[in-house]
Every structure is written in structure tokens, then in C-alpha cells.
Amino acid sequence: MNKTIRRASVFTLLLVLVLLVRATWVQFYEGQALADDKDNRRNAIELYSEPLGNIIVAGDSVTGSARTTSGDLRYKRTYQDGALYAAVTGYSSQVYGATQLEGIYQDLLDGTDTRLKTVMDTVTNQRAEPGDVITTIDPDAQRAAYEALGDKKGAAVAIDPKTGKILAVVSTPSYDPSEITTGNSEVWTQLTKDEDKPMTNRALRQPLPPGSTFKLVVAAAALEDGLYSSVDEKTDSPDPYPLPLSSDKLTNENPNAPCENASIRVALQYSCNNVFGKMAVDLGQDKVRAMAEKFGFNDAEQDVPVRAYESVYPKDMDKAQTALSGIGQFDVTATPLQIAMVSAAIANGGKLVQPHMVSEITDHSGDVLEDYDANASTKEIVSSSTAEQLQSAMQTVVEDGTGSNAQISGATVGGKTGTAQHGENNSKTPYAWFTSYAKSDSSDKEVAVAVVVEQSDAARSEVSGNGLAAPVAKAVMEAALQ
């Protein structure tokens, strides 16, 4: 063999070796990354090659799978009452991925969760039969919230105070996940560019100023700290309250309300800003923050199991800002979930059971893989005495105060209204809030609710927690108690 051929042979052999090394590297070291790449079409083909497991509400599937008639994806996701349950299920799309329960439990629903595999699945390397997600949602409460919100832009959350089960999660305007499962780009563009943001889960993921509903937190802090011994003790509260280090004064919506030196009960009944502004200053921002954080504020990892956005009680405020925080303004923000948690803890004797909207997950045979009801943790937020006093004061709000629209025959109801400023110098339509609890007089059923209405067709002068949000809460409570 001459030198030229020999050199060519060696060079060719080296190229083959390099190619083999590269192929081995790709196969064994980069293979998984390539397999998991979001642009790998084979993943979608595999995911939708068989029907998915389902999300269950009260024994019925609100999701499904249907055979496709074209393309390389054999099945597509379907939804029953999609717009009604969108804030619970999220979506599973062939193009846009999966969100909320669909995303969190994707491995369970598509059969790739290792807990689903049988011995035969392992031997044959076949995908297991998919499992199901059993939710805590009460279909009657869910529908009542959805229909009561109607065309309003807003949200509602309902919780069973004794168990932590989330009975309703509604966000309006909503959308139908069925319309985007196959990747309809026109519908997707409309939804993502809509100024009303129908794909935003307002119930869990849009914190807003909570307004006077936050006064419950301040009242809890004052009673627990001993600043006041009972909800009927008169406070030291001038009306209006001069904001410290400021020429401004904190006034009340109703100038004729008996807010001067009002007790906590009367101050909640008439929603007296002067009382709670001064109370926050007297306590100091650290004590108010500590109580807010016991209820769940400033928790960046609030999973139900969908991760809720953090509700915030701010730090490093001056005394004037602290006063404003006491009435749920300045930089205080909260989700409806968080405000529902406040009422749930008060209704449950001061104890907060971990909120969750999944009861259990099961394999295809119905065997339980994880029981969230049994594993829900409980922590004491305030003493039973403080909780009882706040319950009594909240009942006064509904029976003879600003929350009269939440009264329910055959049930004991306590509540708190809120109207939060919106925009610079309150230039935009205020947010209307209502939070409450109800206990049936004839059974052991109870429920805690929070509602926010961001926008409605009501005139600005008619925007109030009692006028807009309380009727929604009433509808949800009635449905949950039936």
C-alpha cells in the first residue's frame, strides 16, 4: 500500500471514530435533553397517542380525550363546561403546553408517572395507564360563583374552613380551553391580546389592594397583642385621624358614621378608616406584618397545588404609610384566595387548615397514590377567644352594617366589605371586595368566601363591596350550604 492510500485510510478511520464518539455522546449524554426539548415533535406525538387521564369534580370528569381526524396526533384534549372550570383545570394544548392542574399533574395524566407502572409495563417499557386527579371543587358553589359574577371582571374563592378544601375557584371573564387544545393560533392570539386578560387566574394569581377587608387582620393583631381586650372596648380614635408626619387626614366614607373612639365591632360595622389607621400605627408595622404573615401574606410558595401569587404586606414604611396599610391601601396587596383564608381561619376558631383544591390522585384502577385531604396541615393563627370575638363582630357587619346584602335565611353569616382605591389619586373605578363565612343553622356545613369585582357596568358612585361583591358571596354560600 503506498503512502498516499495509507494516509487516506488512517484519516478516514479517524473520521469514523470521531463520528462514533459524537454519536455515542449524543445518544447517552445529550439524548435526554433532546428528548425533553419543547420543540421535539415526538413528545407531543407520544403524549397524544393515547387518551389522557381526567380531572374529576364531584365524581364526574370535566376533561376528556377525543380521536382526531387528521395530523400525526391521535388524540386531543376536550373539556366539559370549559369556561366554568378553566380557573381549576387550566389547559392542555398540543401546541401551547399545559397549565395549572393539567400542567402540575401532566405525568400522572399521561401515564408517565413512575408510580403508575406495573411490573409488565416496566418489562415491556410501555407507558402505563393514566391516573386521575380528584378535586375538592363543589360544582354547585363553582357554578353559583360563575353565574353571579356574570359579565363582571372579577374572581371568587370558597373554602371549607374545617377541612381546607377549596370549593370554588372562579375568574371572569373566562375562556374555553377546548378552543386552544389543537393550537388554534387565531383564538390564541385573541385570548392573549384581550385587554380583559381572560387567561389570567384572578382568583389565585392577581393580587390587588384588599381595602377594608384587611381591617380583619389589624383587628386580630390588636386583640392578640392586648392593645384592646375585646371588640366592644372603645378605642382612642379621633375622627378624622390626622396622619402622622403629614398634613393629610384619614376620613371615612360615611361622615355621619359613629366612628369617633368607636369599638372594633362598631368600626367593622361601619368600616371606620380612622380607627384602623390609628390602630395600625399604635401597633406598629412589625406587629401588623407578623399577624398578616401568620394568615399567609408574604408567602412566595403558597401552593394549592397551583402556585398562588404572593400577597404582600410591605416593609419599611413610615407612620403615615403604616396607617394607610391598616385600611388595606398603600402597598398592601392580596389575592381572593388569601382573603378567603383570613375568613376561613376566623370561622374555624382561629385555626387555618391548609387550603387545597385536589383531594387525591389515583391510578387507573382508582387506588389512591396521594391523599391531600388527610395530609392537610393545620396551624393556629389566633386564639379561639379572638376568633369568637371577630366572628361576632363580622356577624354585626352583616346583620346591621355595611354587609347586609350577604344575609342568608337559615344560616349564621359574618362578613366584611371593602372598597379599594384604584389608580393614581383613585382616578379609576375602585375595586369592590367582600369576604365572609356562613354556617348552616340546620347542619354542620360551613364555608368561607372572598370575592373581588374589578370592573362592572355599575356607575362609579354605586361601586361598593356590599353592592357588587356581597351578592356574589351570598350566592356561593347558599350553594355550598345546600
Q: Which residues are catalytic?
A: 212
Residue indicated by cell numbers 419599611: 316
Tell me the three cell numbers of residue 331: 402597598
Taken in order 100, 171, 181, 189, the sign of the CA dihedral is negative
Q: Which region, left, alpha or beta, applies to residue 253 given φ > 0 means left and ψ of -120 to 50 means alpha?
A: alpha
At position 129, the amino acid (one-letter code) is E
Q: Where are the beta strands (DSSP E) in 38-79?
A: 55-57, 60-61, 63-67, 75-79
Per DSSP, what are the bridge partners of residue 157?
A: 169, 450
Tell me how far apart the terminal alpha carbons of the chain are, to the nearest angstrom.
Answer: 95
d(CA 273, CA 332): 15
DSSP assigned state of 426:
G
Nearest in space to 262 (alpha carbons), one of 228, 220, 234, 227: 234
In the sheet with 153-159, reading across from the earlier edge strand, the strands are 166-172, 153-159, 446-455, 431-440, 411-420
Per DSSP, 458 falls in state: S
Residue written as grid cell 375622627 = 239
* Cα three-residue angle 152-154-159, rounded to 5 degrees: 130
